[in-house]
């Protein structure tokens, strides 16, 4: 039998498009296209703390965003790729899997598959990759994400109720991310130490992008975010943050030992609430949603990359990745860098 291996993080990279749309520009366009609604000024920034979002370059697809990040990650950690996992809430097409398109653009020759679970797509793909590496099936796995929610923003509104249900789209950003995992000896405490995941799927209707599947195969009426933000926040509040402590306890650590915690972010205030609930020193986390918007599954890799750039983490740092996603699901991964 093959000796059990540990999955080590060999590289992390993100790609954020240069073009940005400020919250003020978003609100101005909404007012111009919906003068009859008298939408209040400053609402997006006031409710979410989001200052601006990133917009993909003209003509770019979801796969292009993933490829841009993957090229940087592979330059940081060159070597063969045994498996490519495309992990995103977005996709180029329903079929084939977007992983094939990413692989072709990168010039890879390896098995591929898509892993999809809304904003938890990347952390779930890391879970899959870790299991396959630990079992000896692959030695180097590339997880690549491209998020392109900008196409699902509803600009023409029927009424204020529809504005509120479309609100999430105004804070979401386009971007790409990539993580390279590689096999390391299990006796070395470096890599993914453990993880815990839960789902409360009875809440799936509170947030949808209803197009492309059997429910709305031809996107009749368009394809736009439809979310009950208050219900989504209540559902996450019911879950709490106990899963973080449970995941840490399983690998013999506590919150106090963490050097950094990356948390999926949909709004500045909600991030602060989670940090406070964990009893975490705010200096051991980063607020990215204000400057970059909600990047869906790109969020956690971005925070990890920024933490490294700012000297908050380095080799040997103990890190927790906390993922929150529509559906709804919660995931925690404990990593020794």
Buried b (16+ CB within 10 A) or exposed e, 227-257: bbbeebbebbeebebebbbebbeeeebebee
| pTM score of the predicted model | 0.95
Who wins on pLDDT, 123 or 233? 123
Whether the per-residue pLDDT at 2 is higher than 60: the answer is no
- Whole-number average pLDDT of the chain: 93
Who wins on pLDDT, 110 or 207? 110
Whether the per-residue pLDDT at 248 is higher than 50: the answer is yes
What pLDDT, on the 0 to 100 scale, is given for residue 316? 96
Who wins on pLDDT, 3 or 37? 37
Quick one: which of 125, 41, 173 has its CA closest to 333?
125
Predicted confidence band of residue 3 (pLDDT cuts 50, 70, 90): low
Q: What is the mean pLDDT of residues 278-285?
A: 92
- Token digits of residue 290: 């204000």
Q: Find the helix or strand (DSSP H, E) in which 104 lies.
A: helix 98-106
- 193-221 pLDDT, tens digit per residue, is 999 999 999 988 888 888 878 887 887 76
- Do 83 and 103 contact (CB within 8 A), yes or no? no
Predicted confidence band of residue 1 (pLDDT cuts 50, 70, 90): very low
What pLDDT, on the 0 to 100 scale, is given for residue 25? 96
Range of lowest pLDDT (37-51, 82-96, 126-140, 312-326): 37-51
């Amino acid at each position: 039998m093959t000796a059990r291996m540990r999955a080590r993080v060999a590289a992390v990279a993100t790609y954020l498009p240069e073009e940005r749309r400020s919250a003020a520009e978003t609100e101005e366009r909404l007012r111009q296209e919906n003068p009859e609604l008298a939408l209040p000024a400053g609402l997006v920034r006031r409710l979410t703390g989001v200052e601006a979002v990133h917009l993909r370059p003209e003509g770019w697809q979801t796969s292009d965003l993933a490829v841009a990040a993957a090229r940087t990650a592979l330059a940081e950690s060159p070597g063969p790729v045994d498996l490519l996992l495309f992990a995103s809430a977005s996709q180029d097409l329903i079929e084939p899997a977007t992983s094939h398109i990413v692989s072709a653009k990168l010039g890879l020759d390896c098995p591929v598959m898509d892993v999809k679970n809304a904003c938890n797509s990347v952390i779930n793909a890391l879970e899959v990759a870790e299991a396959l590496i630990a079992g000896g099936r692959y030695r180097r796995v590339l997880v690549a994400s491209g998020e392109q929610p900008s196409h699902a923003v509803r600009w023409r509104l029927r009424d204020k109720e529809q504005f509120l249900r479309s609100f999430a789209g105004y804070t979401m950003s386009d971007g790409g991310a990539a993580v390279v995992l590689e096999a390391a000896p299990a006796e070395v405490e470096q890599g993914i130490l453990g993880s815990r995941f839960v789902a409360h799927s009875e809440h799936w209707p509170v947030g949808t992008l209803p197009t492309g599947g059997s429910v709305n195969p031809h996107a009749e009426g368009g394809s736009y975010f439809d979310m009950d933000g208050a219900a989504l926040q209540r559902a996450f509040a019911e879950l709490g943050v106990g899963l973080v402590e449970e995941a840490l306890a399983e690998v013999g650590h506590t919150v106090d030992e963490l050097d950094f915690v990356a948390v999926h972010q949909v709004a500045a205030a909600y991030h602060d609430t989670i940090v406070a609930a964990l009893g975490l020193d705010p200096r051991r986390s980063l607020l990215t949603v204000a400057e970059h918007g909600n990047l869906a599954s790109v969020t956690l890799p971005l925070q990890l990359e920024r933490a490294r750039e700012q000297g908050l983490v380095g080799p040997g740092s103990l890190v927790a990745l906390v993922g929150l996603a529509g559906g709804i699901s919660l995931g925690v991964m404990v990593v020794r860098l």
